């Protein structure tokens, strides 16, 4: 574990310096609209290897490459299937990751040896400015240690990765709060490989029926969608606020538990707004994790829209503690 600290720079003013670090093969954590990413030059195998080392990420879990602009996609990968192009056109910049064939320019370590690659254009101006200034595609997983809570603030990155990252661009809390939706639209019917910030309903409205084929620990579809993931250090269980809270913490959707004297409570959205709840999810879990409770009980949210992705994260966090 590292004990030093990275250089934390404001996202708007630190871009030139951060881009220079990327070009030199170093690691930069930066905000996207979903979560903070841990970026490296996606054309540089050694730089990509540093990501796996910094995160203690297994080599079988491929990275997402980020572009500054949708117009940069053909230059990197050549022509893409019409359905892929249509989704990029409709949802980029935005929280949608698309699967394309891996071009020769992307070293196999980035895709964990797969002949496909994941790519997206983030909807966060500083992220796009950083990628444009670096002048290369930027491979970036979420900027947390493997399996742990995703970072939605620069402070989460610093606490989790320490000086394993050279520079952290601080752009404040991220807007969406959960990761991008991953879609493989190369075949006859688009397949959702990971539920995320772009609701399945929005995909269906744009392209018609989609298949949701989520991974489990046995046979992950997106290799990183393991059954156990996104976990706090404190054991987490899905359920209602039954019994006495005691030294336990409660993650509520809309309302604090009426009774039970819980040691710590986080409410995701008093208005019952799932978008707000998603934006607060990981921040609330980070706080409950730091509250010194013996267990976190998390209330599932309605299984609709981005609520499906929230429940997915909670189920995987809970699976870690089975």
Q: How far is the CB of 295 from ligand TXA (least distance, A)?
A: 26
Q: How far is the CB of 141 from ligand TXA (least distance, A)?
A: 3
Q: How far is the CB of 222 from Mg ion (least distance, A)?
A: 10
- What is the residue-wise DSSP string for 104-138? TTS-GGGGTT-SEEEEE--S-HHHHHHHHHHTS-E
The residues, ordered by sequence, that sit 6+ positions from 108 with a Cβ below 8 Å of its Cβ are 45, 102
117 binds, among ligand TXA, Mg ion, none (CB under 5 to 8 A by kind): ligand TXA
CA distance 140 to 119: 10
Integer angstrom CA distances of residue 50 from 42, 55, 57, 263, 277: 11, 9, 10, 39, 33
Part in contact with Mg ion (CB under 5 A); list of ranges 8-16, 138-146, 281-289, 311-319:
138-146
Q: How far is the CB of 273 from ligand TXA (least distance, A)?
A: 20
Q: What is the number of the residue whose Cβ is closest to ligand TXA?
A: 224
Q: Does 142 bind Mg ion (CB under 5 A)?
A: yes
Cβ closest to ligand TXA, residue 182 vs residue 241: 182
Q: How far is the CB of 139 from ligand TXA (least distance, A)?
A: 9
CA distance 63 to 67: 13
CA distance 244 to 218: 36
174 binds, among ligand TXA, Mg ion, none (CB under 5 to 8 A by kind): none
Q: Which of 153, 148, 171, 168 is nearest to 27 (CA)?
A: 168
Cβ closest to ligand TXA, residue 62 vs residue 93: 62
Q: Does 225 bind Mg ion (CB under 5 A)?
A: no
């Amino acid at each position: 574990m590292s004990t030093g600290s990275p250089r934390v720079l404001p996202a708007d003013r630190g871009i030139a310096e951060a881009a220079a670090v990327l070009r030199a093969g170093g690691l930069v954590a930066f905000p996207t609209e979903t979560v903070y990413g841990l970026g490296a030059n996606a054309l540089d195998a050694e730089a990509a290897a540093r990501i796996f080392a910094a995160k203690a990420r297994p080599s079988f879990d491929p990275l997402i490459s980020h572009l500054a602009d949708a117009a940069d996609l053909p230059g990197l990968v050549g022509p893409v299937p019409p359905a892929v192009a249509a989704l990029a056109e409709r949802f980029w910049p935005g929280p949608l990751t698309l699967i394309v064939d891996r071009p020769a320019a992307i070293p196999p370590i980035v895709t964990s040896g797969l002949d496909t690659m994941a790519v997206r254009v983030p909807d966060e101006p500083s992220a796009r400015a950083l990628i444009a200034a670096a002048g290369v595609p930027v491979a970036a997983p979420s900027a947390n240690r493997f399996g742990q809570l995703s970072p939605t603030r620069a402070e989460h990155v610093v606490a989790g990765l320490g000086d394993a990252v050279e520079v952290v661009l601080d752009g404040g809390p991220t807007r969406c709060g959960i990761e991008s939706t991953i879609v493989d639209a190369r075949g006859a019917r688009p397949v959702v490989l990971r539920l995320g910030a772009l609701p399945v309903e929005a995909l269906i409205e744009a392209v018609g029926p989609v298949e949701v084929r989520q991974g489990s620990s046995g046979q992950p579809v997106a290799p990183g969608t393991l059954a156990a993931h996104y976990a706090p250090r404190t054991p987490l269980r899905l359920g209602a606020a039954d019994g006495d809270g005691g030294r336990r913490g409660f993650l509520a959707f809309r309302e604090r538990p009426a009774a039970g004297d819980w040691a710590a409570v986080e409410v995701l959205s008093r208005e019952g707004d799932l978008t707000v709840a998603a934006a607060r999810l990981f921040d609330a879990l980070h706080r409950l994790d730091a509250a010194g409770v013996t267990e976190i009980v998390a209330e599932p949210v309605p299984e609709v829209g981005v609520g499906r992705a929230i429940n997915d994260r909670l189920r995987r966090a809970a699976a870690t503690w089975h």
